[in-house]
Amino acid sequence: MKNAHCERIIGAIRREVLDHILIMGEAHARQVLTAYQGHYNKHRPYRARGQLPPEAQEQPAAVHDLRTRRLLRTRILGGLIDEYGNAA
C-alpha cells in the first residue's frame, strides 16, 4: 500500500510541477518542493474530502452577493500554480 501512496504523490509532483520547471540544482529543487508542499497541504482541493484541502476543517461560507467580495490571487512557483481566496 505504501508504494501506491508514494507513486501517487511522485506522479502529482511530476505532472503539476517538475514537467513545467527546469530545476537548476539541489537548493532550487528544495525550494520548489517546499512551495509545492505548502500548496498541496493547505490549498489544493481533494475530491475525497468534499473539495477541501487536508488542513481545512470546514467548507468556507457561501457568498451570495459576489459584488461585495473581492478575490485575491496568489501566484505560486512563478505563476505555475494560482491560489484564490477572499481579499480582506
The 10s digit of each residue's pLDDT in 53-82 is 776 766 666 666 666 777 788 888 888 888
pTM of full prediction above 0.75: no
Comparing CA positions, the residue from 70, 82, 80, 87 lying closest to residue 18 is 80
Per-residue pLDDT, 61: 61
Residue 28 has pLDDT above 90, yes or no: yes
Report the chain's mean pLDDT, rounded to a whole number. 81
Cα–Cα distance list, 49 to 6, 63, 79 (Å): 20, 21, 26
- Tell me which residue of 41, 40, 60 sits closest to 50, measured CA to CA: 60
Cα–Cα dist 59/77, whole Å? 26
